[in-house]
């Protein structure tokens, strides 16, 4: 049954290559996009893969910047931008997770250079026209067609060596994109189908990866689920969960995927009273009675951090996060209330189980 009428669905223009060994297509894709002087972007962990890609690119390779960092600090972008200008680059190939993708987008915003992204995690940001940047301890986000990558190359082989811990929290991060897409203000039936398929794929794959990191079928399922989650993230707006995670990441330089993993069960529990139809669809899709509890238990099963204090958040940061969240809020199906947000963040900080407030009236907020 289609309940969210009327709706608008806008497909984003992007080319996706998905398979095993697909990174060998990097040179062909660069030539297709008219690149002749390519800048490779990565973090320190992916310099080896960057070297392989540079050899694949051959004479198209003009330079490599290996300093990508979480939350896309503006000062890092300025360093990479200086190298791009020095080497007269006309295209970007980014290899890695959200840090490398974010840096590529930041450069594209400033230069309009075409991008090819090769994800190595389940972040999903490669599928979106969204850029989050951090300056002075504050993370801000914007949507712009200029930052949307032209090509994304998903190669299952690039995810096979992703450590089990990072696989798990990166996958939960992707689940968060799909969960929030289900109750977005601009939700639509197409995105809902993709979101539920994504959640099922990831919930099935992540425990299997934890049990056997070399399970290629599980790795393929997780990458598939992450791709779909990225489509959802790029197609509709996000809500409370993403606002809290962006605030925490920008204010306290906390690890991106781990923060999403910890916060998701609590943010969903906060919104649950206002989204009964979504909660029913999630219960059916996952075969559970309590979805926030199931996500909390999934975190435990994959070895995610129990609470925000394990990630280095100071206890007095709860108040700051609440104020930032309500000062410039994202749309949310339930109104943002300081006391309830403080309770949510306190549970997330301590690592307690999520709690649904059954006394809250159903309805939409802002």
Query: pLDDT tens-digit profile of 344-365?
Result: 999 999 999 999 987 776 544 4
Is there a single domain that holds both residue 275 and residue 336? yes
The CATH number assigned to the domain holding 337 equals 1.20.1090.10
**Cα–Cα distance measured from residue 158 to residue 139, given in angstroms and rounded to the nearest whole number:** 29
C-alpha 281: how far from chain center: 22
Is there a single domain that holds both residue 155 and residue 168? no
Is there a single domain that holds both residue 175 and residue 155? no
Residue 331: domain span = 164-350
**Alpha-carbon distance values, 229 to 38, 70, 81, 97, 265 (Å):** 28, 20, 29, 14, 17
Is there a single domain that holds both residue 176 and residue 289? yes
Beta strand 130-135 pairing with 138-143: antiparallel
With respect to residue 361, please indicate whether it lies within any of the assigned structural domains. no
Is there a single domain that holds both residue 150 and residue 183? no
3-state secondary structure of 143: strand
Q: How confident is the model at residue 250 (pLDDT cuts 50, 70, 90)?
A: confident
With respect to residue 49, please indicate whether it lies within any of the assigned structural domains. yes
Is there a single domain that holds both residue 29 and residue 136? yes
Question: Last residue of some domain: 129, 159, 189?
Answer: 159
pLDDT at 18 over 80: yes
Is there a single domain that holds both residue 176 and residue 325? yes
Q: Which residues contact 33 (CB under 8 A, 6 or more apart)?
A: 91, 114, 116, 150, 151
With respect to residue 308, please indicate whether it lies within any of the assigned structural domains. yes
With respect to residue 340, please indicate whether it lies within any of the assigned structural domains. yes
With respect to residue 74, please indicate whether it lies within any of the assigned structural domains. yes
Is there a single domain that holds both residue 180 and residue 118? no
Per the structure, the count of domains in the chain is 2
What is the model's pTM? 0.90
Is there a single domain that holds both residue 340 and residue 247? yes
**Alpha-carbon distance values, 113 to 33, 39, 97, 217 (Å):** 10, 10, 19, 35
Question: Last residue of some domain: 159, 189, 217?
Answer: 159
pLDDT in tens, 164-207: 999 999 999 999 999 999 999 999 999 999 999 999 999 999 99
Is there a single domain that holds both residue 148 and residue 246? no
Q: What pLDDT does residue 256 have?
A: 87
With respect to residue 4, please indicate whether it lies within any of the assigned structural domains. no
Q: What pLDDT does residue 3 have?
A: 61
Is there a single domain that holds both residue 27 and residue 108? yes
């Amino acid at each position: 049954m289609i309940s969210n009428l009327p709706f608008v669905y806008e497909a984003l223009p992007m080319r996706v290559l998905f398979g095993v060994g697909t990174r060998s297509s990097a040179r062909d894709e660069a030539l297709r996009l008219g690149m002749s002087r390519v800048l490779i972007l990565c973090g320190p962990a992916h310099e080896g893969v960057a070297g392989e890609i540079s050899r694949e690119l051959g004479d198209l390779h003009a330079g490599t910047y290996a300093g990508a960092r979480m939350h896309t600090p503006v000062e890092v972008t300025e360093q990479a931008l200086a190298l791009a200008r020095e080497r007269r680059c006309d295209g970007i190939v980014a290899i890695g997770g959200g840090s490398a993708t974010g840096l590529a987008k930041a450069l594209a915003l400033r230069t309009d250079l075409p991008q090819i992204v090769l994800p190595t995690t389940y972040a999903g940001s490669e599928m979106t026209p969204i850029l989050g940047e951090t300056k002075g301890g504050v993370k801000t986000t914007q949507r712009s067609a200029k930052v949307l990558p032209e090509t994304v190359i998903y190669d299952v082989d690039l995810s096979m060596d992703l450590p089990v811990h990072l696989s798990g929290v990166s996958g939960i991060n992707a689940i968060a994109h799909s969960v929030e897409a289900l109750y977005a203000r601009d939700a639509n039936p197409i995105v809902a189908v993709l979101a539920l398929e994504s959640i099922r794929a990831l919930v099935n794959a992540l425990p299997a990866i934890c049990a056997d990191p070399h399970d290629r079928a599980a790795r393929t399922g997780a990458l598939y689920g992450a791709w779909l989650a990225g489509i959802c993230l790029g197609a509709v707006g996000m809500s409370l969960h993403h606002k809290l995670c962006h605030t925490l990441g920008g204010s306290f330089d906390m690890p991106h995927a781990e923060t999403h993993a910890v916060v998701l069960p609590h943010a969903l529990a906060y919104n649950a009273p206002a989204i009964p139809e979504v909660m029913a669809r999630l219960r059916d899709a996952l075969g559970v009675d309590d979805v926030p509890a199931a996500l909390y238990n999934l975190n435990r099963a994959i070895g995610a951090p129990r609470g925000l204090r394990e990630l280095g958040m100071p206890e007095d940061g709860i108040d700051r996060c609440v104020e930032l969240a309500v000062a410039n809020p994202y749309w949310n199906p339930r109104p943002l209330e300081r006391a309830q947000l403080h309770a949510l963040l306190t549970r997330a900080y301590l690592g307690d189980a999520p709690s649904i407030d059954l006394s809250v009236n159903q309805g939409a907020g802002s």
